[in-house]
Structure 1
Amino acid sequence: GKSTLLKALTGLLKPASGAIRYNGKDIAGLSAPDIARLGIGYVPQGRGLFAGMTVAENLSLGRLARKTDSSNGIAWSEEKILHYFPRLKERLHTPADFLSGGEQQMVAVARALSGNVRLLLLDEPFEGLAPAVVQELFTVFDQLRREVSIVIVEHNLDLVLALADRVFALERGAVFHTGPAEPLLTDLTYRKQILWL
């Protein structure tokens, strides 16, 4: 239910019932472009890049549905994004499908940030990446969380606990635990009690 939750938050799936409150407004049932215009960026599991399109073209697609004037969040210009992902500066005119898996993930995050974004949704951002790339992305996410709220769906518990302020643990689509991340990171007995791990 974790990926389904993110898809519902972004308007890719219509919720069967209930409300999704964002910035004081119920957004359940809004279209994906309308939700993107509210300042929500989404990086799907598997990245979802457009093959044959360059890095620059993928980034420009992220700005199509969003304002770029900081009215709905921080205005993430290409220059600001490339500050966080300097490796992409050298690859702007390279087709995205020619990049390594880690570089593709960077493009996917950069595309999700393009335009006005105040909430970034990441679905399994570390999946299938080499440890050095995971560390690089972890560092970027740690910096980004000072500027934008981030929701991460991730199976690598230690990584996500080190990044998170709060944890919401789901099982079969239902929340069974919510609370601060720090005790789950530092107290293994407490982690076993709460998460059965």
Structure 2
Amino acid sequence: MTEQERKEQNKIGKCLLHNWVEERAVAALDTATEKNQIQRRGHIGIITLNQEAKMENTTTLRTAYAPPKSPGVRTKSLRRELLEKHIAQMISEKKKAEMDQPVDPTEYSSTTQRDFNAQGFLPLPLRSTKQHGDDRKSEQAVTFWSENYQRIQGVSAAPSSKAPFKKSAQFSTPIGERLDEEELPPDS
């Protein structure tokens, strides 16, 4: 065959150029006059020459891997088998009894409704333990540290007992420039 004839055959089969392996294999089988029959049914005689043969129902997997057969003798004793059945029945009855218990109705109330809005509760205002002055905002708060400021180590001297933690410059002020002290501290 010349190159020109191959190109013409290639246009009919629409096969890639120089890919003639399939075309050569079925060239002798292309005896049908219509291309539509070949496209619908394929080439006859490629897989088998006996067209009347029936396909097998078993696969190689089914024939190679057959299910295992029982040994034909008892593997468990009769007592053990009955005991296992009895235990399984007891467990299933117990679980069924747990599942069949009646469910308590759910109480839909919040923590506020349950704990803070109790019936019969009368809120009473707390009585003050100390008489306050006119201006409560400027008073010094009473805390553990304000009551025990004399025992704290590493704190400079408090200017007054009413406000021990207010700003004090006594630590950095030279002794000779202290104006508010009448007596100088004794030298040790």
TM-score by length of 2: 0.16
Structure with a larger share of its residues in helix = 1
Q: Which has the higher contact order (CA 8 A, sep 6+)?
A: 1
